[in-house]
Structure 1
Amino acid sequence: MPTNIRLMTAEDLDAAMELKDAEGWNQTRDDWDLFLRMAPASCLVAVEDDKVVGTVAGINYTNRVAWIGMMLVNRSYRGQGISKMLMKAVIQSLNRVASVKLDATPAGFPVYRQLGFEEEYTLLRMVATSPEVPDDWKTGVSKERVKKLDVSHMSDIHDLDKEVFGADRTDVLLHNLRSLPPLALGIVDATGRISGYQMARKGTRYVHLGPLVANDDATAKLLLAHSMEKCSDVSWVIDVPKKKQGWVSWLESCGFHVQRELFRMYLKGNGHPGDTSRLYAICGPELG
């Protein structure tokens, strides 16, 4: 039977989790619920013989930036053009958005190039089991300026995140805040406002750290050091800009190692690039 592309429903989530688990990905059922809630018109499944064999999700961040993620195809059904069918359908569903972005794996990179995506910059996926802060690490940032975040700080975080990411993604930030409250931390500046922040969320394999926004390396290190002290006996994943080599080297000194590269790509122009100079960890390839 021909492949049918249709909207995802809540009844498809068991099948979506099976596809995700088969690839060893980290997303939880709560993450899938977030995709469905935020993007009901751009969460799609590919169906053959009444079986879900592929997924994709496209989140529209206020028509400025859309984010495509969760591109999954059952291994037994690959080579039939299903991924291209899903991509074309999700791109069409986002036709009102100024810029469409994604983070591509090395295998997906040439496929997305064929669809017209252009490369913006490279990310490094880094993982660690029970990382530790190096004994010789010191910071000029006072620990007293680190605050535990809650919903009362969302106004400051919203403004800062919109500058750095390029669009409003308040719902995603609230999702992370609720997922792991102890790891939602902020830096308070002299005026009492949040000038840097870090969040994380639970995963099926790792604690996924990010986003992490800071004005400098020392501030980013302080935020992550606090988190490693709070959750020392877990496995971590973090996606960081490759160009921040000092930051990458420090993460390696904590016990992180590079698992693979990811390539941030865009379609229809890059009119809302955000401020990558302050970006130390993205939220994740599925969320931006």
Structure 2
Amino acid sequence: MNLINETKLFFKKFDHLDIPALIDLSTSIGWDYDRNEITTMMNSGKIYGHKNEEGKIVSSAAIIEYSSKLASIGMVIVRQDYRGMGLGRKATQKCLDSMLCSKTAMLIATEEGKPLYEKMGFKSIDTVHKFLCDHYEPLVKNSNLHRNIKPIGEEDIPQLIHLDTEAFGDNRKTFLINRLKQSKEAIVVKSPDGKNIGYGMSISGPIHLILGPIVALDSETASVIIDQLARNHHGKLRIDVPSGHEVFMSHLKKCGFLQVSQPPIMIKNGDHLPLRNNTLYGIAAQAFG
């Protein structure tokens, strides 16, 4: 039985001064959110939750609203000592209440969180495939695609946003610009006539180098993007791949990646995600969809 007095908890929208306490909350349950990731989340969306009398953050939930169709919910965390009080549900509900009712809300659930989300009206529609790698083995040989890889420049942004919108199903310009600022490396693949046919970013985290988002017109281009981002990294890697890319996932396994889980994608206020063109090979992170 939880004896903590809920009347001594304070609900609020967090700001940048709360980032150290949010990092501590994440660490308390073994998650690895860092300052850069939470800053991108705040600059792209909103984070709500509870504080106790001592000012310690004991719950959180974040929402990132994209242009017109979709919002993504993530970073739903409740400190162990405060579980069983409905704090995660209240923070998540605040995220839902803050968005335009015409949008579909999506999240990628943990096993522990799935029953809560089902009670709140979310339903599972698909899965993502979480891959980790301790030592990357490059298999992609130099090709014309390698010669057409460039760092993303200001002039590439309009085409990049168009590529991403077709892949993701909604325009997420604000988030992409914030993610670019956060990235360790951000590259674009160009066709011989100068059009962008794919792009990718790597994000440095406390444990893993995150590969994503990855958007490409085909699996070969996606594999070359991964190779460019991963081949000079000495450390752990992570990528979360949407369903439907079996050839690409087979390639990842040959390069040393191991699939460790397949968490469900859940949505509310809709029957399916906005239309996508099957060119999203790596999501940005589970919190961003």
Instruction: Give the structure-1-normalised TM-score.
Output: 0.90
Residue 94 (str. 1) matches residue 99 (str. 2): yes
CA distance in 1, matches of 2:28, 2:39: 19
2:162 aligned to 150, 159, 162, which one? 159
1:219 counterpart (218, 221, 227): 221
Task: Measure, in 1, the Cα distance between the counterparts of 2:143 and 2:218.
Answer: 11
Question: Which residue of structure 2 aligns with residue 49 of structure 1?
Answer: 53
**Stretch deviating more after TM superposition (235-244 or 42-51):** 42-51
Equivalent residue letter for 2:175? V
CA contact 1:150–1:177 (8 Å) conserved in 2: no
| TM-score, normalised with respect to structure 2 | 0.90
Q: Is the 8 A contact 1:207 1:235 kept in 2?
A: yes
SS in 1 for 2:263: strand
Describe the superposition over 1:69-109 as per-residue Cα deviations: whole angstroms up to 9, x where unpaired: 11111011112211111111211111445111111122222
CA shift digits 1:221-258 (9 cap, x unpaired) = 11111122232x12111101243222112111111112
Aligned residues: 282
Give the ranges of 4+ consecutive aligned residues of structure 1 lying more than 4 Å apart after TM superposition. Answer: 137-141
The match for 1:107 is 112
Aligned counterpart for 1:117 among listed residues 117, 122, 146: 122
Identity among equivalent positions (%) equals 25
Letter of the 2:98 partner, please give it.
Answer: S
In the other structure, the counterpart of 1:243 is 244
Asked if residue 6 in structure 1 is aligned to residue 12 in structure 2, the reply is yes
**2:147 aligned partner:** 144
Q: Which moved more, 1:183-192 or 1:212-221?
A: 183-192
Partner of 2:88: 83
Report the secondary structure of 2:93's partner residue: helix
Q: Once the two structures are superposed, what CA deviation does each residue of 1:168-223 show, in whole Å capped at 9, x if it has no partner? A: 22232223322335x31211124311111111212111111101011111111111
SS at structure 2 position matched to 1:226: helix
Unaligned runs of 5+ in 2: none
The within-5 A match list for 1:196-207 is 196-207=198-209
Question: Are residues 100 and 56 of structure 1, via their aligned partners in 2, closer, same or farther at CA, if it must alter by over 3 Å?
Answer: same
CA contact (8 A) 1:242 1:248 kept: no
3-state SS in 2 of match to 1:230: coil
| Other-structure match for 2:75 | 70
Aligned mates of 2:187, 2:44 — CA distance in 1: 25
Return closer, same or farther for 1:33/1:228 CA change in 2, 3 Å cut-off. Answer: closer
> What RMSD in Å do the two structures reach over aligned CA positions?
2.0
Cα distance, 1:139 vs. partner? Answer: 8.0
